[in-house]
Amino acid sequence: MAEIQFGQIIGIGEGQIFKDRKALAAAGIHRPLQAGIDGNKKDGSSSIVLNGGYVDDEDLGNVIIYTGHGGNDPNTKRQVADQSWDSSGNRGLLISEMHGLPVRITRGAGHKSKYSPSNGYKYDGLYLVTQHFYEIGKDGFRICRFRLEKLSSISPLPLDINESLESYGASETSRIPTTILRIARDTKLSRKIKEVYDYTCQVCGIRISFNGIGYAEAAHIRPLGNPHNGKDLSNNLLCLCPNHHVMFDKGAFTINEDHSLSGVEGRLFIKPGRHAIDTENLVYHNKHIFNING
């Protein structure tokens, strides 16, 4: 059993067509030959297929409302039982949502929408799981649902706001900015630092979770890129809750060399032996980012 692979598969481009599920699996896009979700309870889910298997699925292009596994009669394709968050694929999608992992999307010809191919299976790139919710489906049983949004469509620049809301399938105006803010790009390093702290904020100790799956953000102390040119190293990273991430980035508080805090109460928690911070990065934040006027 090959380890589950997240993100882009080298050599496979968006729009590429595969003859059948066997070809999809051989390409490394989606390993199971029947299951719609490729994932497990520990690492998350890395890929889904839309092929008309579940009556409640909605495909809006850049936004997909996907139905989890379970309770489905494969002959009638109708729901005959309640679904649960604990089946492997569903829990995997929750992990992908909470940890910001990308999910590959493939549309099959069996799924009738204007985005599906006329035959075979079409790989359509990377999406993020941005919401999960529970509702009663068309057949009267509770279903686990996931909202997925195409990664390239989550633009940091607001397009024409009136038009973009419609095309995103979003009705609440506050959604887009929050999504952009919260979804930090997942890298090996950011995942590692979050795992070291088990998704617990180093400033306030809060651990945001759903069904035990934690949510946290990896924050750079000295920002990356121009003009700060901080380094993407663990000695320049913190594991924070969203509030303290924003507060830190905006200079509402800072961390002193002795790890005491200015601007908020308390003291930075550091896991002994598992994480070390470069003091120079703290000095930089203190000097250039922290609001000296309080």
Partner DNA sequence: AACTTCACAGGT
Partner DNA sequence: ACCTGTGAAGTT
Contact set with DNA (CB under 7 A): 1-2, 4, 20-22, 25, 31-42, 48-54, 57, 66-67, 69-70, 72, 74-75, 87-89, 91, 108, 110-111
Adjacent-strand bridge partners of 240: 217
Element (H, E) at 21: helix 21-26
Residue closer to DNA, measured from CB, 33 or 181: 33
Closest approach, Cβ 218 to DNA, in A, equals 25
Residue 180 has φ and ψ, to the nearest 5°, of: -60, -40
Distance CA 175, CA 60 (A): 16
Closest approach, Cβ 92 to DNA, in A, equals 7
Residue closer to DNA, measured from CB, 21 or 150: 21
Distance CA 26, CA 254 (A): 50
Residue closer to DNA, measured from CB, 53 or 100: 53
Q: Can you spell out the DSSP letters for 81-136?
A: S---TTSHHHHHHHHHHHHT-EEEEEEETTS-STTS-SSSEEEEEEEEEEEEEEEE
State both tokens at 215. 């949510």
Closest approach, Cβ 138 to DNA, in A, equals 13
Residue closer to DNA, measured from CB, 36 or 125: 36
Closest approach, Cβ 11 to DNA, in A, equals 18
Closest approach, Cβ 108 to DNA, in A, equals 5
Residue closer to DNA, measured from CB, 70 or 214: 70
Residue closer to DNA, measured from CB, 141 or 269: 141
115's CB contacts (< 8 A; 6+ apart) are: 59, 61, 107, 124
Closest approach, Cβ 91 to DNA, in A, equals 7
Type of residue found at 198: D
Distance CA 247, CA 125 (A): 33
Q: What angle do CA 151, 51, 56 make, to 5 degrees?
A: 85
